[in-house]
Amino acid sequence: MAQDLSEFRSEVRDWINANLPGSIKGDLSAQMAGAMGEREQDGDALLWRQRLAEAGYGAPTWPREYGGAGLSQPEARALAQELDAAGAVNPIPAMAGMGVTMVGPTVLEYGTDAQKAKHLPGIASGEVRWCLGLSEPNAGSDLASLTTKAEDDGDAWVLNGQKIWTSGADRSQWCGALVRTDSNAKKRDGISFVMLEMDQEGVETRPIRLIAGASPFCETYFNDARAEKDDLLGRRNDGWSVVKRLLQHERQSQTGARGGGGATGPTIQEMAKTYVGEEADGRLADPDLRSRLASLLMAEKAHGLTAARIVAEARGNPKVSAAASILKNSATMVAQTRAELTIEMMGNQGLGWEGDSFNDTELATVRNWLSGKAMSIYGGSFEVQKNIIAKNILGLPETTQKG
């Protein structure tokens, strides 16, 4: 495998050199243009995305017949590393919203051949953005308490209800929604997962502004919205099984366990020396900050090694497990600790909201610090992950409410 992977890396480097436009090499923001829906992608950024899609690199481990490249997990990690080393980034997962990381893997597992052929190629190319209608105003961590209904109308499902925290709903073409299809069954037994188009009269979205400023979150209303009968994913009233797998994929995507290109820029150690200063021997001037920064770097390393070990133990199996909950919580702690330390080392410069006295990095830092507070809530709260770890990994008794 080592020899094969070495050859694969060489092939990838050659491909990147031949296909990454020189005008955007090393400019990650340019390569990601259009990924967050703020403006249309054009020029060399569009060309780069199209070339990635043609090679199947948008969703590299998916089968070729559905727009992927059929790569193994080790090959996919090598691809991401080579892109990073070349000053390149893959914008397709961001452009697809919840498609590449969550919807697509779940469709691959639960979808019919017709559903896979219909939905996966558009996700893998980044041409179709997906959102997810899961949480409701009265069904957050207790998701099974949802009340949004889907009624059988013969040739379609008719949806009525409200969803909240639907990331990217105002920019998405499709939505995967968890709905109640049997009001008489126990709350986890009467739920189904349907896929519907967002561009229809019965769907309304309202963006939610958060403390950090701009936000991807929306309220979403279904008022006699329609989903095709064939777009029920999995069996009717078995949507709880479907969404549990989908949420495992979400947690996996939030941990960095599968690798991915990273942004360039100064390290946190370099930033600390810039703002705090250094001693004659090159050490960070503040001993207490130096100690806490070392602890953070060790935690980051431990998280990365644990993620790599879990992947290795899976022996290339792409399915995720409850171990994703461990990584979700450790990733949250590492990210929030890093944000706190960065704000602290910047001092007053880390608290600016606007004005010429703050540079772009400083302004972004305070916003990232605020938005990062949500990490311990979204994708299943920190406490929910602890319950999953206790029950499914440690084998402790079930203590949560059943239903």
Residues annotated as catalytic are 250
Give helix then strand counts, H and E, for the chain.
13, 8
Per-residue buried b or exposed e for 192-227, using 16+ beta carbons within 10 Å of the residue's own CB: bbbbbebeeeebbbeeeeeeeeeebbbbbbbeebbb
Distance between CA 188 and CA 402 in Å, rounded?
9
Structure tokens at 278: 């250094």
Axis crossing angle, helix 2-19 with helix 43-55, rounded to the nearest 10? 150
CB 232 within 8 A of CB 305: no
* Ramachandran bin of 168, using left for φ above 0, alpha for ψ from -120 to 50, beta for the remaining angles: left
Distance between CA 246 and CA 356 in Å, rounded?
44
Strand boundaries in 94-180, DSSP class E = 130-133, 149-152, 156-164, 174-180
For residue 186, give the nearest of 246, 240, 148, 150 by alpha carbon: 240
Distance between CA 77 and CA 57 in Å, rounded?
11
Q: CA 18, 22, 28, 29 torsion: positive or negative?
A: negative
